[in-house]
Amino acid sequence: MNLKPLCHACALGIDIGTSGVRAVAVDGEGRPVAASVFAYQAADDKRIPSAWWAAVENCLNDLSGKCALGSIEGIAVDGTSGTLVALDAGNAPLGAASLYNDTCDDPDIVAAIAAAAPATSPALGATTALGRAIKLSRGSGVHRIVHQADWIAMRLGHGEAISDENNALKTGYDLGTERWPEWLDSVGMDRRLLPKVARAGAAIGGIGNAGRALGLAENTRLHAGTTDGCAAFLATGAHQIGDAVTSLGSTLVVKIASDRPISAPLFGIYSHRVGNLWLAGGASNTGGAVIRSLFGDAQLDDLTRRIDASQPTGLDYYPLLRPGERFPINDPNHAPRLTPRPADDVVFFQGVLEGIAAVEELGYRQLAKLGAPQLRSVRTVGGGARNLPWREIRQRKLGVPFLDSISEDAAAGVASLVIRERSLSQ
């Protein structure tokens, strides 16, 4: 019986998502060589830390049949930004997690943060991770408040609570001073409950018993991870000032690599630091959800085939599901613009794609006005990335090279942090 030899990998990235967990092993150049995915068994599992860990175990057990886990030199974890877990003295979760999109239902906490936080702080707002951390800290027996990625890393390692500055940002971490600021105490957050914080990619410890039981070597190093959004950006291969990534999913998200932080709370813009880069971006309410509402999924392939992208329609649309936009225009009453509607659905469809491309172009222009560098290239992720006529429309609008992504997998992106750190230490 001939057995296929196991591949060799240098680093492992683990992405803790809202629907499941994905693990990707990469070689010394950051190229994916093996992957495994495990979907949660129930919708509420996205809130249950034990379900996250069970999915990690399943992924690594599956991956061990494809890749020699003992050869992996480093591992890093990404998670949804702002998802928090309260832990007891033994690092066991105290109930379900507080998710990234949950709101802080205590108006006094929200008001206190608004009064004390810097005007540009990502800790502000109704979904404030800091506010939800304060609420969690008031529970019985709480010994520690950590982020989703932190807790998985703790399980793989020796139990020390260490976060990365990307995940810590919305919880109030100060990137300038690189510490938890004193004003957190004034709003009711005991800083002693929060984890230590390292820069994304920094080596933070070794593998513990649980990690070794899954096949990881004792000399494998744990590295500080990042958020899922930053990991997805890194996965594409974008790494130079002016490189941008557009996500064409249910919504339109644009992000650019900058040499300086960009902060504009009015537009929901703040920046994460990865190495010497700052990743700045914004999210519009336009995108694939509008397309599906107008045309449904069944006819999209046929409409796409019939588009003549070389002939612009001349239609001037701002496609939205309902009134309200935050970026690149900040107006809660901004009205959708989808008229006049031509009789030909192909022309209408092309006009909607052109309208979303116009919003994308306006988004990058808005980032430039706020201090971002000149756009030099665009990579595209999400379902819309496969639509070639749309790519032609967008490239003509933006006027820069459109480059292929190395990967769209956030797990590969967080693994690339290990490769970067490894190259710096050699």
Q: Which amino acid is at 345?
A: D
pLDDT band at residue 2 under the 50/70/90 scheme: very low
pLDDT band at residue 155 under the 50/70/90 scheme: very high
State residue 340's pLDDT score: 97
| Segment 143-156 mean pLDDT | 98
Q: Kind of pairing, strands 243-248 and 377-381? A: parallel
State residue 426's pLDDT score: 65
Spatial contact of 246 and 361, defined as CB atoms under 8 Å apart:
no
pLDDT band at residue 129 under the 50/70/90 scheme: very high
pLDDT tens digits for 314-362? 999 999 999 999 899 999 999 999 999 999 999 999 999 999 999 999 9
Set out the domains of the chain in order of their start, with CATH numbers.
11-230+410-425 (3.30.420.40), 240-398 (3.30.420.40)
Whether pLDDT at 385 is above 50: yes
pLDDT band at residue 6 under the 50/70/90 scheme: confident
pLDDT tens digits for 160-183? 999 999 999 999 999 999 999 999
Q: Tokens representing 331?
A: 């107006």
**Alpha-carbon torsion (53, 56, 60, 61), positive or negative:** positive
Q: CA-to-CA distance for 124 and 101, rounded, in angstroms?
A: 13
State residue 256's pLDDT score: 98
Q: CA-to-CA distance for 402 and 405, rounded, in angstroms?
A: 10
State residue 1's pLDDT score: 39
